[in-house]
Amino acid sequence: MRPDDPRAWLAQDPDPETRAELRALLDAADAAALADRFGARLAFGTAGLRGELGAGPNRMNRVTVRRAAAGLAARLAAEPGAAARGVVIGYDARHKSARFALDTAAVLRGAGLRALLLPRALPTPVLAFAVRFLGAAAGVMVTASHNPPRDNGYKVYWGDGAQIVPPLDAEIAGEIDALADAGSRVDELPLGDDWEVVGEDVVEAYLDAVTALPLGDARDISVVYTPLHGVGRDTLLAAFARAGFPPPAVVPAQADPDPDFPTVAFPNPEEPGALDLALELADARGADLVIANDPDADRCAVAVPDPVSDGGGWRTLTGDEVGALLAEHVLAHTSGDDRLLVTTIVSSSLPRSLAREHGVRFAESLTGFKWIMKAGRGRLVLGYEEALGYCLGGADGPPVHDKDGIGAALAVAALAAEARRAGRTLTDLLDDQARRHGLHATAPLTLRVPDRALITDALTRLRTSPPTRLGTHTVTAVDDLSAPAGDLPPTDGLRLTLTGDARIVIRPSGTEPKLKCYLEIVIPVDDTPLPTLRRNARTTLTGLAAALKTALDLP
């Protein structure tokens, strides 16, 4: 890979902001800042591109985006009929998102492909739906999802409406690198200005599809909702109205799109404090349920009243808890032994037991919806990952072949309304599952490091000399996921099986310099009160996480 020259980059950059940034660095001879921006290129992978905004190949900017669009166009040239089918382009409300979407449309038109731009900033699941609805060859969503405000990203979907998987990612990346290595300038790429702006009928079709999911008929529920300054509000409110739910109360300070996300440290509903304003409003209104989307509305977080919790009267459910509840809800409102539940290797093992109990199919995938949508055989009625991502399907399978925070919010409201009608709560339903299948308790451990090489070293140490004991648990098996058995593709990671029905999966993040660990224990339910068992489980998981952190020996 030929390194990019800063002055050559400056000459082709169409953005006055990043030109000014780079010119200032060159004038100051700031070697460290230049090395940070030009010492590498953002890697195009199965998650597309994601990174900090700024000048240079190691940043998200208009040069990087035009190169990506040109690489995608070159790969699509090998797809029969792709030029006429075209590419659907969506974008969120982050800094530069609309501009990157327009650059993508211009490059694709210049390459002779049809370009279809969504009518406004919209949730990622609308883009994923639109790819199949419009019969497009591919889709592009400009978003950094729940990343910090300084980031943006570029996610690519194929004609099946799902995120790309290998070898497509490598093929597109090869085209992008070939363009850059040849010294081709993005300001010399042919550009077109005759892209199509898709009408609101696409949004209407999406709303029709998600409100046709298996939701049941209970609707009496009081919901507080926050889009966390993202693009979910209008689409979610329209979906709730179309499905017949009372309108959710939206957190005023977080209602409008704002790329600076001023009320939260990180615009991620999993982060501590992200739901504080929603919980305050829910308390004031006496709401039954809190629902949050992340900024591009492909994830869904849930909190419920729980006087015995440690959360000030509210309990934020884990992604695994919501996934298990949705699994039973969708199974109760569908039929057929071809139904399929899919979770990832890092999610709870409870859905496997639920699938067995209900006599339906189950499959396990690698992390990410690009893999969930490819896993198993059957009619997908629920795919989920513990990171608050859910995909629901009905009689014809899922309308969105990706995680969908709007559809998940509808289903959560429906199951909560159904429980309320029966005089019960979501926590009651979780207790029912624990009594039947044992208390499945999960917890993440995320370790950020200054250098990815430290992650590689830590995984190598675990592979060559795995621990025999972690805390009070004996390690009984270590599975190297780079050479897995069964149907899983190889991936960099390890799965540890421990005594006490415990399990740990360890893998590097695909987008950030972090090592991610996923812990699970399963506790048989006896006469001990479930709140006590849950507290005991948290204590056990905390001890297990501390022992694992020591074993990993990361700074």
Structure tokens belonging to residue 192: 């077109």
Beta carbons within 10 angstroms of residue 457's beta carbon: 15
CA-to-CA separations, 367 to 262, 343, 529, in angstroms, rounded: 30, 9, 34
pLDDT at site 309: 64
pLDDT at site 451: 84
CATH topology of domain 6-198: Alpha-D-Glucose-1,6-Bisphosphate; Chain A, domain 3 (3.40.120)
Contacts of 424 (CB under 8 A, 6+ apart): none
- Per-residue pLDDT tens over the stretch 83-122: 999 999 999 999 999 999 999 999 999 999 999 999 999 9
Q: What's the pLDDT band for 76 if we cut at 50, 70, 90?
A: very high
Contacts of 318 (CB under 8 A, 6+ apart): 386, 442
Q: Report the number of secondary-structure helices (H) and strands (E) in the chain.
A: 18, 21
Structure tokens belonging to residue 34: 């230049």
Mean pLDDT check: name the lowest of 65-74, 307-316, 420-429, 540-549: 307-316
Q: What's the pLDDT band for 183 if we cut at 50, 70, 90?
A: confident
d(CA 197, CA 206): 17
Does an H or E element contain 302, and which? strand 300-305
3-state secondary structure 253-265: HHCCCCCCCCCCC
State yes or no: pLDDT of 229 exceeds 70. Answer: yes
Q: State the DSSP string of 352-368.
A: HHHHHHHT-EEEEE-SS
Q: Is-catalytic flag, 145?
A: yes
pLDDT at site 488: 84
Nearest 5°: phi and psi at 142? Answer: -90, 105
Residue holding tokens 């590498």?
40
d(CA 56, CA 397): 42
Q: What's the pLDDT band for 1 if we cut at 50, 70, 90?
A: low
CATH topology of domain 438-552: TATA-Binding Protein (3.30.310)
3-state secondary structure 129-184: HHHHHCCCCEEEEECCCCCCCCEEEEEEEECCCCECCCCHHHHHHHHHHHHHHCCC
pLDDT at site 365: 94
The ranges assigned to domains in the chain are: 6-198, 204-271+283-435, 438-552
Half-sphere exposure of 267 (CA within 13 A, CB side): 33
Average pLDDT over residues 439-463: 91
d(CA 168, CA 401): 17
State yes or no: pLDDT of 347 exceeds 60. Answer: yes
Contacts of 293 (CB under 8 A, 6+ apart): 123, 225, 226, 227, 228, 230, 232, 236, 269, 299, 300, 301, 405, 406, 409
Among residues 145, 347, 348, 349, which one is catalytic? 145
- Per-residue pLDDT tens over the stretch 25-46: 999 999 999 999 999 999 998 7
Residue holding tokens 């800063």?
6
Q: Same topology for domains 204-271+283-435 and 438-552, yes or no?
A: no
232 in Cβ contact with 404 (< 8 Å): no
The mean pLDDT value of the chain amounts to 95
Q: State the DSSP string of 472-537.
A: TEEEEEEEETTS-STTPPP-S-EEEEETTTEEEEEEE-SSSSEEEEEEEEEE---SS-HHHHHHHH
Higher per-residue pLDDT: 142 or 307: 142
Domain 204-271+283-435: state its class. Answer: alpha beta
